[in-house]
Amino acid sequence: MEIRAFAFKDCALTVIATARRAQNLREFKDILETIGQASIYYHFWGHLLRPGFDDPEYNNDFASWAHRGLHDSRLAESLSIIDPSDFTNLETLRHELIRVVEERLDETEMVPWVKADQQFHFLRSQIVVFDTGKRITEPEGLALILPHASVGSTFFHFIDARRRSPEHMDDFRTWLGEFGDECAQLREQLAAVDPYFLTLTELRSQLTLLFANYFGAKVS
């Protein structure tokens, strides 16, 4: 069977308003129950491609709002430690978000509110994909191209691919699977990489080092 070439793509996110917003934690929970999956996805992962993410202490927009808007550090911490990579799909992730918020509502006597200008605006995004024109036909090529790939390319192939794949698998593992046992160990190493608590630059560096060590290439 002929093995297809791996085509490196790049991407950007176009942010779209949903016209839904919450001014208190009860409204926030109610909207979480029905908001589209694309919004949940964006608020967990979108900051990676957003220039100047201004609250690096928290890994997602929900936790950041709990801290900056509601001034609820306990809720912010609980939301921040949710790792979307641990969930098989966005619905199970939604249920975990709702569980955490409901638990916090049960603990408080009054529903927390924010000022009108600090409401949580639910957004969603559309991914725009570009073909870089770069192709590789051998696994070793990953060690040569990835160090020079954009962060958008890293996001598209290693993070967004898991949303697109029925097996929740990144593009590298999917392609390397065509080489059978030759790359089985490398695929296991890739499966162990959790991208959520890394910046895209850190993720690219970690993957670059992994490929370089596996293929004996020099990291440049």
Element (H, E) at 161: helix 161-164
When pLDDT is cut at 50, 70 and 90, the band that residue 51 belongs to is: confident
pLDDT digits (tens, 9 = 90+) for 165-197: 888 999 999 999 999 999 999 999 999 999 999
How far apart CA 1 and CA 180 sit, in angstroms, is: 12
Query: Two tokens at 10?
Result: 């790049």
Looking at residues 126-136, what average pLDDT do you find? Answer: 96
As a whole number, mean pLDDT of residues 44-69 equals 85
Pair type for strands 6-22 and 120-136: antiparallel
For residue 54, the model assigns a pLDDT of 56
Closest to 25 in 3D by CA, of 72, 58, 64? 72
CB contact at 8 A, 7 and 134: yes
Q: What DSSP line would sit under 41-93, residue for residue?
A: HHHHHGGGGSTT-S-TTSSSHHHHHHHHTS--HHHHHHHHT--GGGSSSHHHH
pLDDT (mean) for 8-32: 96
Q: What is the pLDDT of residues 74-88, one digit of tens each?
A: 999 999 999 999 998
What does the pLDDT read at residue 152? 97
Model pLDDT, residue 55? 55
Calculate helix-pair angle for 25-32, 90-107, nearest 10 degrees.
Answer: 160
- Average pLDDT estimate for 86-114: 93
Instruction: Check the CA dihedral 102-106-111-112 and report its sign.
Output: negative
Residue 109 pLDDT > 60, yes or no? Answer: yes
By CB neighbour count within 10 A (0-12 exposed, 13-18 middle, 19+ buried), where does 113 fall? middle
In this structure, what token pair is assigned to residue 80? 């921040």
Which residues make Cβ contacts (< 8 Å) with residue 180, sequence separation at least 6?
Answer: none
Q: Which helix (H) or strand (E) holds 122?
A: strand 120-136
The answer, yes or no, to whether residue 219 has pLDDT greater than 80, is no
Instruction: Report residue 75: phi and psi, to 5°.
Output: -65, -40
